[in-house]
Copies of this chain bind each other. A is one copy, B any other.
Amino acid sequence: MSEQINAIGFYKGLAIEDPNSLRNLKIDRPKASGNDLLVEVKAVSVNPVDTKMRQSHPETKNPTVLGFDAYGVVAEVGDQVTNFKTGDHVFYAGTNNRAGSDQEFQLVDARIVAHAPNKISLEEAAAMPLTSLTAWETLFDRMPLIPKENANSGKEVLIINGAGGVGSIAIQLAKWAGLKVITTASRPETIEWVKKMGADVVLDYHQSLSDQLKAVGIETVKYAAIFQSTDAYLPILAKIVAPEGFITSIVENAHPLPMGLLKAKSITFAWEFMFTKSIFHTDDMATQGQILAKIAELLDNKQLRSTLTLTLTGINADSLRRAHEQVESNKMIGKVVVTGNFNAK
């Protein structure tokens, strides 16, 4: 009989108040083969993708295990793995078509994993992978910006929703890369937060963005990233983005989009979906491991700061339900991490 491990999962999408929305489970311990690592998970984070996947999930016979951010220690390596060994400390987001990090031992493809930063806490590290990968790919894969310190000076980026998980890293990475950063925020605490992340100009999203830009002498911006309602912001950005400019979004549209608004200016619209590389096993899948290695370096050099703001102890259904609740509130600033022992009750 195979060894059992602790995991947190569910059989059906339920409201987070329901105790069955996330349950303590026992599952078989997986075994590493091929390109996989088996990682003993020490800390996980919760992202909007977790809550969305949970809420919309049909009833299934086998449990679904979420979790797309982890810090852990390599317990086994597959026979194709060359750059990791047992005992290495790693961090990664993983992919959304395999079981996630809410389990004691998780299989993850070594190509999308990096050695963890070692000058920050494991909780600070666990908060970072998914949002860092998304922010990096938004700026440097989907738009023609250069992923190098101060390499884009004289350019500017408008980040819609700078206080969110991805926005907070995008501001920091854009500043590191030399861009001027304009972002949106509205509450006093989010305005303070985005300034701490490095934003140069903060716009109130309850007022006209173009009027506020004109007031600070900016007519158009060449690069824009949408981290909130593409439906709402596409028409607004059609006016603000410069001819031959770029818009990248991570938020799926609810309705068909009036793309013709972008045509006269020959604007490019790109989607960024962080799981594309791992779902489709693209030729450049290993760039995710490389990006995370660079993120670890920037964190250790204090050129990037962790966005961790809340730590819950004990990786179990209770704490993960609390973490999901925080994310669902839409009021969260920064990231929540759940750490400590898997102590399923």
Interface residues of A (CB under 8 A from B): 137, 141-142, 144, 230, 243-244, 252-253, 255-260, 262-273, 276-277, 279-280, 282, 284
Decide if B279 touches A264 in the complex (CB within 8 Å): yes
When C-beta atoms are compared, the residue in chain B nearest to A283 turns out to be B244
Given known A266-B270, A270-B269, contact A276–B142 (CB-CB < 8 A): no
Q: Assess A266 versus B259: contact at CB under 8 Å? Given A244-B282, A282-B244, A284-B244.
A: no
Contact A264 B276 (CB under 8 A): yes
Q: Is the CB of B252 within 8 A of A282?
A: no
On whether the beta carbons of B259 and A267 are closer than 8 Å, the reply is no
Nearest chain B residue, comparing its CB with the CB of A265:
B276
* Most chain B beta-carbon contacts within 10 A, residue among A230, A256, A272: A256
Contacts of A270 in B (CB 8 A): 266-269
Q: Is B268 a contact partner of A269 (Cβ separation < 8 A)? A: yes
CB-based contact A266/B272 at 8 Å: yes
**Are A259 and B257 touching (Cβ within 8 A)?**
yes
CA–CA, A270 and B264, complex, Å? 12
When chains A and B are docked, how far (Å) is the Cα of A271 from the Cα of B258? 13
Q: Are B276 and A269 in contact (CB under 8 A)?
A: no
Bound-complex Cα distance A277 to B284 (A): 33
Is the Cβ of B260 less than 8 Å from the Cβ of A258? Answer: no
Q: Which of B265, B267, B271 interacts with A262 by CB under 8 Å?
A: B271
CB of A266 within 8 A of CB of B256, answer no
Query: In the complex, A14 Cα to B268 Cα: how many Å?
Result: 34
**Contact between B266 and A271 (Cβ–Cβ < 8 Å)?**
yes
Chain B residue numbers with a CB within 8 Å of A144 are 144
Chain B residues lying within 8 Å of A230, measured Cβ to Cβ, are 259
Other than A141-B244, A253-B259, A256-B257, give 12 A-B pairs with Cβ distance below 8 A.
A141-B266, A244-B277, A252-B260, A256-B256, A259-B259, A259-B271, A262-B271, A264-B273, A265-B280, A266-B276, A268-B269, A268-B270
